[in-house]
């Protein structure tokens, strides 16, 4: 079809010409396969494996041999973006928040942790322990039941945390402290060598010895979100790599499904997109029902 175009008082005609693209039947099978793959990828938008990327990026993760340390495999920016998504979903998504509350109810319950203790059938000790769980002297005066829910949500949303019984480690308060994922981070290399030895190295707040064994962590509330923590405003937690995790005054639970990865990733991260899409769908259905009514 001819198209009229006016420029500076002159009228010209732009006539459509035949495409110079090669004929499909003239292509070899290898080229056809490559074109088909690109077309399918463009139509489907790619596999949504990395939720921390935007929708216009190619999100299929290519297989690779991990030769670098953890900071370069999943850096601080990626972890922060993942945490931001999870927290925003908790604050703004009623569906997501409802799922977390249901998880609290099923795992923790309404009156304390679902644990079994053997008190030699002493009703008096059982009653004392039950009362203590409802009114324990923990951080900020929170009850044991609330502390358990905070631990669960911190782990589920962040993938890891530092859980500490403060017996001289921070303020000697004798209370339970929780450090969230963005309160665990790297400090200066000089401070790590001074506190843990010259062969020690750090990766995303975890400290390893010369043989790569986990020997400590760096935490700080005042440096939250910083890329490098100030050594003067941080706490250096030490642990014996040969001792049991439960023999220490602090521990760092992490996602056990992340094989050999020091800093865990939130178990709900891969489900965030689906949950938010489900909430949008429910919202659309509710709006349609209101309009029809």
Q: Say how far apart CA 22 and CA 36 lie, in whole Å.
A: 15
DSSP code at position 121 = T
pLDDT > 70 in the chain, percent: 71
- Please name which of 219, 222, 221 lies closest in space to residue 207, comparing C-alpha atoms: 219
Residues 6 or more apart whose CB falls under 8 angstroms from that of 169 comprise: 235, 237, 249, 250
**Residue 231 has what pLDDT?**
92
pLDDT in tens, 29-38: 888 877 777 7
Residue 59, pLDDT > 80, answer no
- The residue with greater pLDDT, 101 or 72, is 101
Q: How far apart are the first and last CA of the chain?
A: 49
- The residue with greater pLDDT, 77 or 8, is 77
Q: Say how far apart CA 273 and CA 96 lie, in whole Å.
A: 11
Q: What is the mean pLDDT of the chain?
A: 76
**Residue 50 has what pLDDT?**
56
Residue 46, pLDDT > 50, answer no
Q: Which two tokens stand for residue 265?
A: 């990733």
Q: Which two tokens stand for residue 219?
A: 């935490």
Beta-bridge mates of residue 134: none
- The residue with greater pLDDT, 253 or 137, is 253
pLDDT in tens, 109-119: 776 554 555 66
Q: Lowest-pLDDT range, 84-93, 130-139, 195-204, 241-250?
A: 130-139
* Residue 23 confidence class, pLDDT cut points 50, 70, 90: confident
Q: Say how far apart CA 164 and CA 169 lie, in whole Å.
A: 8
**Residue 48 has what pLDDT?**
46
Q: Say how far apart CA 272 and CA 82 lie, in whole Å.
A: 10
Give the sign of the dihedral formed by CA 45, CA 51, CA 55, CA 56: negative
**Cα distances (angstroms) measured from residue 168 to each of 153, 171, 176, 229:** 26, 6, 12, 21
**Residue 265 has what pLDDT?**
78
């Amino acid at each position: 079809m001819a198209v009229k175009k006016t420029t500076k008082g002159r009228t010209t005609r732009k006539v459509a010409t035949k495409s110079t693209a090669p004929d499909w039947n003239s292509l070899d099978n290898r080229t056809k396969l490559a074109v088909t793959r690109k077309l399918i990828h463009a139509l489907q938008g790619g596999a949504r494996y990395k939720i921390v990327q935007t929708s216009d990026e190619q999100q299929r993760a290519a297989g690779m041999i991990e030769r670098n340390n953890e900071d370069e495999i999943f850096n601080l920016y990626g972890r922060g973006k993942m945490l931001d998504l999870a927290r925003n979903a908790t604050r703004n998504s009623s569906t997501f928040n409802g799922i977390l509350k249901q998880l609290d109810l099923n795992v923790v319950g309404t009156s304390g942790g679902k644990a079994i203790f053997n008190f030699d059938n002493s009703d008096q000790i059982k009653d004392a322990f039950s009362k203590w769980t409802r009114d324990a002297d923990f951080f900020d005066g929170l009850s044991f039941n609330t502390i358990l829910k905070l631990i669960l949500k911190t782990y589920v949303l962040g993938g890891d945390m530092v859980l500490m019984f403060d017996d001289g480690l921070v303020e000697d308060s004798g209370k339970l402290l929780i450090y969230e994922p963005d309160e665990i981070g790297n400090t200066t290399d000089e401070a790590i060598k001074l506190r843990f030895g010259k062969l020690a190295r750090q990766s995303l707040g975890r400290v390893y010895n010369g043989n790569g064994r986990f020997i400590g962590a760096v935490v700080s509330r005042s440096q939250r979100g910083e890329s490098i923590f100030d050594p003067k405003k941080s706490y250096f937690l030490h642990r014996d790599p040969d001792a049991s995790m439960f023999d220490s005054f602090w521990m760092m639970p992490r996602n056990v499904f992340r094989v050999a990865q020091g800093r865990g990733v939130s178990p709900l991260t891969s489900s965030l997109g689906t949950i938010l899409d489900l909430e949008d769908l429910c919202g659309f259905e509710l709006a349609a029902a209101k309009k029809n009514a």
